[in-house]
């Protein structure tokens, strides 16, 4: 198609999950089909098709207390640089305005240069870290965490509820909610790597001890999206062999909402907040 041809934005359904996975796989993202099904079932996912092929997406995932997350902004290679991503984000913002929602997103550095002119305000920063080869050694015993306790700490950190998200994560095959001393985290499958987060702890030492214990029980690559200002935590991870892959910039569009009472050590993922 020529760059000047009109683009029709459509609302996608749960049957589009496999096609969405093709797009995120092309981008080398870690989402799996279960993630796509959650967005398509619980949020609004806008898309652009070329015939029957899905070539671009953007998702709006409402939470509670007037907050929502924008993510899954994807455009296949041959359709990039035509303004499609901006149009899809505008569709998400229009839907959010109709619902009176403040929107958030976690942007890559390239994405942040696009979202800033649209009116997004930078807030905190994240650092994605990867452990490629966990040590297969005996670890301290990990306790099975409680979903209600995880929801409560997540609510204190986010200042709004994400019970449906965390319950769905926790119910997936392979997911675990684990705790050690004063730290707790959710561990789940991704497409290419396991993911730790959200992670809450009373100190960096507690957070690092939990991550170390979890990593000793894993057999493949692990990702964690850490809050950048938790510097002792990140320093401890890199000292233990984790590598920083990329930064993310959290941004907000709309009125400021209530701030959380505690800062997590790691988040659920840039696509979920």
* DSSP code per residue over 161-193: --HHHHHHHHHSTT-EEEEETTEEEEEE--SSS
For the record, the structure tokens of 256 come out as 């400021």
CA dihedral 159, 271, 266, 262 (to 10 degrees): -10
Average pLDDT, the chain: 94
Q: Report residue 231's pLDDT band, with 50, 70 and 90 as the boundaries.
A: very high
In a domain, 272, yes or no: no
pLDDT over threshold 50, residue 4: no
Domain assignment of residue 21, given as a range: 9-110
Q: Alpha-carbon distance 171 to 145, whole Å?
A: 13
For the record, the structure tokens of 202 come out as 């009373």
* 3 or 74, which is more confident: 74
pLDDT over threshold 70, residue 169: yes
pLDDT over threshold 70, residue 113: yes
Q: Do residues 135 and 247 share a domain?
A: yes
Q: Can you give the pLDDT at residue 140?
A: 66
Q: Do residues 60 and 169 share a domain?
A: no
pLDDT over threshold 80, residue 136: no
**pTM of the prediction?**
0.93
Q: Do residues 236 and 168 share a domain?
A: yes
Q: Do residues 101 and 131 share a domain?
A: no
pLDDT (average), residues 132-143: 76
* 211 or 145, which is more confident: 211
Q: Report residue 2's pLDDT band, with 50, 70 and 90 as the boundaries.
A: very low
Strand ranges (E), the chain: 9-11, 44-50, 53-62, 67-75, 102-107, 121-131, 143-144, 176-180, 183-188, 194-201, 222-227, 243-253
Q: Do residues 63 and 174 share a domain?
A: no
The residues that bridge with 144 in the sheet, in sequence order, are 178
In a domain, 158, yes or no: yes
Encode pLDDT of 190-204 as tens digits: 999 999 999 999 999
In a domain, 91, yes or no: yes
pLDDT over threshold 80, residue 48: yes
pLDDT (average), residues 81-86: 91
Check which CATH number belongs to the domain holding 78 and give it: 3.40.630.30
Q: Alpha-carbon distance 97 to 60, whole Å?
A: 11
Three-class secondary structure of residue 240 per DSSP: coil
* CA 172 remoteness from chain centre: 16
Q: Alpha-carbon distance 45 to 112, whole Å?
A: 21
Q: Report residue 138's pLDDT band, with 50, 70 and 90 as the boundaries.
A: low
Residue 198 exposed, middle or buried by CB count within 10 Å (0-12, 13-18, 19+): buried
pLDDT over threshold 50, residue 28: yes
Q: Can you give the pLDDT at residue 258?
A: 81
């Amino acid at each position: 198609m020529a760059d000047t041809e009109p683009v029709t934005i459509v609302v996608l359904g749960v049957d589009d999950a496999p096609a969405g996975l093709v797009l995120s796989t092309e981008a080398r993202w870690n989402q799996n089909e279960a993630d796509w099904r959650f967005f398509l079932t619980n949020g609004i996912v806008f898309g652009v098709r070329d015939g029957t092929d899905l070539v671009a997406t953007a998702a709006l995932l409402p939470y509670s207390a007037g907050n929502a997350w924008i993510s899954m902004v994807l455009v296949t290679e041959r359709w990039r640089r035509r303004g499609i991503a901006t149009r899809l984000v505008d569709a998400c913002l229009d839907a959010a305005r109709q619902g009176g929602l403040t929107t958030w997103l976690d942007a890559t550095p390239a994405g942040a240069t696009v979202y800033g002119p649209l009116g997004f305000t930078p807030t905190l920063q994240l650092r994605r870290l990867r452990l490629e080869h966990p040590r297969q050694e005996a670890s301290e015993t990990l306790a099975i965490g409680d979903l209600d306790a995880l929801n409560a700490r997540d609510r204190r950190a986010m200042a709004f509820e994400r019970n449906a998200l965390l319950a769905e994560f926790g119910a997936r095959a392979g997911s675990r909610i684990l705790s050690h001393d004063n730290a707790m985290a959710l561990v789940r499958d991704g497409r290419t790597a396991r993911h730790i987060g959200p992670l809450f702890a009373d100190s960096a030492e507690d957070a690092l001890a939990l991550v170390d214990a979890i990593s000793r029980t894993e057999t493949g690559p692990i990702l964690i999206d850490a809050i950048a200002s938790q510097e002792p935590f990140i320093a401890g991870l890199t000292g233990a062999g984790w590598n920083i892959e990329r930064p993310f910039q959290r941004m907000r569009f709309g009125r400021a909402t209530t701030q959380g009472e505690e800062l997590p050590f790691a988040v659920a993922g840039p696509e979920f907040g």
